[in-house]
Structure 1
Amino acid sequence: MTPKSNDRPVLRVAYVGPVDVPSSAANAQRMLGLAKALGLAGCEVVIGSAADNHEEAVAFASGTRIEYIRESATNGNTRIRRIVRGLVAGDRTIRWLNRLDPEPDVVILYGTTFSYLVRLLRWTRRRQIPLVLDVVEWYDPRHLPGGVLGPYAILNEIAMRYAKKAAGIIAISSFLADYYRRAGLPTVTVPPLFEPVASQPHATMPWNDGGSASLTIAYVGNPGKKDRRTLENLLSLPDALGSLRNAIRIRIVGVDRAQASAAVGRMPETLPAEVTFLGSMARTDAMTEVARADFTVLQRPDRRYTKAGFPTKIVESLILGTPPLANATSDLGKWLVDNENAIILVDDSIEALVEGVNRAWSSQGTFDRSAIATRAAKAFSPASWSGVLTNLLKDSMKRGL
């Protein structure tokens, strides 16, 4: 971790976790956003990527670089070996930390993966280095391999409590921040961070012009189990809209029809003509789909895991100037303003989505997309959070180990 000049950086930070960086995945984007924020504050950040990559260290941004630890399981492993590897991962990260010269002032761990947490707490205590956790989820045990009584679910519940032994917490939501703040930990709430988009968002033209135009709604991502409700509702939306169905276009990016069928557990024999599956695509192309849409959509149930997380999709949509149709889970109520930068849905039901789409249609393109993008660029910019993050790391160092 050699500084780029003779001046010592504000802090030397090692940022690690079970994440393949760089990639388009939300967890990788989270790490890159926080690393940029710290770099802008004068910190020297090295990201220990779990990616199975033979490349040498690569420069990422000012004061930041990525090194490859190869902690991830290889594609050639069997499913059982991948599960076992997932339960014991972290040993290569420790060996990598041992090689850093000079040692970091602070170690940040993305998430609360139990195998990482135990190893890193032991390593940082031996060296009197604070361990700060970037906590972004409280998983629903039903969503994890093995279900409620499986090893992942049990270890996750243990880890969320064991995390109170850390020196500080960067929480992605107020729900998580409040949980760890009650334990007396230095804690800050930091949403997903992204660099402002250079190009202007696509202008939205009025679509309610007598029926010749259409309203485009997009969903981008891998729905998994978290967004199953969103996908179900989108597939049901054309029939539920009645006479308005011919005026909407639904574009689903990230999964094809077969993958969507596996996600929802069922699929209509005849796919509504208004629904198009675009499958997986490069991040830049996916973001182009978001920018071209009139609205994005995200509906999640009111559960502990939705309160604890923060949907990256919403931030990406706002930065591109595309207002979301979404119910206010997590901290979204703090960032979304109905009829200004979003249409807020009352819940995750199909009825709520129909009501929202009808309101979207009636708005006739009156949302100021440039204003939405400008406000979001400032609110979620790494530069806006540099001081908050750096102060949290310094407070964690003062707390003692």
Structure 2
Amino acid sequence: MKKAIIITENSYPEGDAGAVRQHAFAKMLSDMDYEVLVIGYGKSTEEKICVYDNINYISYRVNSLNKIYRVWNRIRFGDKVFDYISQNYKQLDLLLVVDLMPSAFKKIVQLKKKYNCTLIHDSVEWYSKEEFRYGKLDLAYRRKEFTNTKVIDEMWNVVAISTFLEKHFQKFANRVVRIPVIMDIKNIEYRTKVEPSDKIVFSYAGGPGKKDFLREIISGFALLNQTELHKVELNIIGVNKDQLINMCEVDKKAIAKLGDCLKIHGRVERSVAINYIRQSDYSLLIRDENLRYAKAGFPTKIVESLACGTPPLCNYSSDLELYLKDRQNSIIANGHTSKDVCEAVKNALCIVKEKDRAFMRKNARELALNCFDYSVYKDLLFTVCDE
């Protein structure tokens, strides 16, 4: 049996959106008759093999109160991965690598030469300086620049999450395919039935940083008149009120105007956040479509919403225009300003019949199954696995 290892610094198996994607790749490779191991940085397994959904994995995170030791352990991630593979594998056919420190990438290249295995890089983002307080000086920004411009060459095959990244890596890599956000959609609980209600429920769930324009979302709702406000409920999940004001720069007056229709829930478990989205009429996501991060990435929040049967209210960014159709499976804002949000919300409020909203929910779920279930992309992944 062929052997494949996925290497990621994400919180595999359940810690973040990246881990969900890596698990989808692990399941695809397993279906392709690879023996798969995921080496990640989720909850500590004390460097022992554990099993999640029939996939073997190890986490190199350590349980320690000593911050210096934790940082040192993170820096040594590449060395520990190299040592483990060298000591436990006589044969290795494929390495699928997400994003690592520069020193760790050097170890990956050494493994490539040692085993003559296929190297695949899963590229999912390219930051914009506007996301960070110190712009281009931010360490995360510099690491991503290094990966996307210095690491990948003809030795690598690349899975790109967006057309933007696909076109970029076609200049350097051996083979490139585009695979958007993927999940095990069939096993995600969904809702298509719409019950009569005097409120249309909109929800945002996530940790926005500066990527998601919560300021524009909340200010957009605040532009509604009182009659319109009485028809809506706005849930914000993942940040508290202080963070909205201080981190997201939301106007206090906008928060005050929304009054009881604004529900701020703070940070919750991922499963709870997804349930809020499932029970909502629309999810919310607004980004600056002109910035590089929005072109290069692909919003996991949109796919999670579609999988739940919840149409997103969003503007077009990344490759969303390839999938989302206004008033069919989504509500599309014309841009990323507060006025754009307000007009999109008004358009959503015009869809008053339960059967019309149920039609959109059904379309959203079908789109998720047809375009974002991992099983759809097995043949495409095979083209970069086989040298």
**TM-score normalised to the size of structure 2?**
0.89
Give the letter for the 1:188 counterpart.
V
1:225 aligns with 2:218: no
Aligned equivalents of 1:221, 1:75: Cα separation in 2:
27
Match of 1:5 in 2: none
- Deviation sequence 1:231-255 (CA, Å, 0-9, x none): 1123213320113112111101112
For residue 75 of structure 1, report the CA deviation from its aligned partner. 5.7
Q: Which moved more, 1:52-61 or 1:347-356?
A: 52-61
Check conservation: 1:297, 1:326, Cα contact below 8 A. Answer: yes
Aligned equivalent of 1:289, options 268, 276, 288: 276
| 1:1-400 alignment, distance < 5 Å | 8=1, 11-51=2-42, 53-55=44-46, 56-62=48-54, 64-70=55-61, 76-77=66-67, 89-111=77-99, 113-144=101-132, 146-165=134-153, 166-195=155-184, 196-197=186-187, 199-205=189-195, 213-227=198-212, 229=213, 231-242=214-225, 243-268=227-252, 271=256, 272-273=258-259, 274-301=261-288, 302-364=290-352, 365=354, 366-367=356-357, 368=359, 369-394=361-386, 398=387
Secondary structure in structure 2 of the residue aligned to 1:66: strand
Unpaired runs of 5+ residues, structure 1, are 1-7, 208-212
For residue 260 of structure 1, report the CA deviation from its aligned partner. 2.5
Aligned equivalents of 1:12, 1:198: Cα separation in 2:
29
Aligned equivalents of 1:281, 1:151: Cα separation in 2:
28
Check conservation: 2:221, 2:345, Cα contact below 8 A. Answer: no
Q: Which moved more, 1:129-138 or 1:145-154?
A: 145-154
Q: RMSD between aligned alpha carbons?
A: 2.4
- Deviation sequence 1:75-118 (CA, Å, 0-9, x none): 6416xx87777666422222222233243211111135433323
Unpaired runs of 5+ residues, structure 2, are none
Secondary structure in structure 1 of the residue aligned to 2:204: strand
**CA 374–75 in structure 1, closer or farther in 2 if over 3 Å, else same:** farther
Aligned equivalents of 2:36, 2:142: Cα separation in 1:
32
- Deviation sequence 1:253-295 (CA, Å, 0-9, x none): 1122223333213551664322111122222221111111000
Identity %: 23
Check conservation: 2:333, 2:341, Cα contact below 8 A. Answer: yes
Aligned equivalents of 1:83, 1:226: Cα separation in 2:
26
The total of aligned residue pairs comes to: 375
Q: Which moved more, 1:153-162 or 1:166-175?
A: 153-162
Check conservation: 2:93, 2:116, Cα contact below 8 A. Answer: no
Check conservation: 1:114, 1:156, Cα contact below 8 A. Answer: no
Secondary structure in structure 1 of the residue aligned to 2:349: helix
Check conservation: 2:78, 2:104, Cα contact below 8 A. Answer: yes
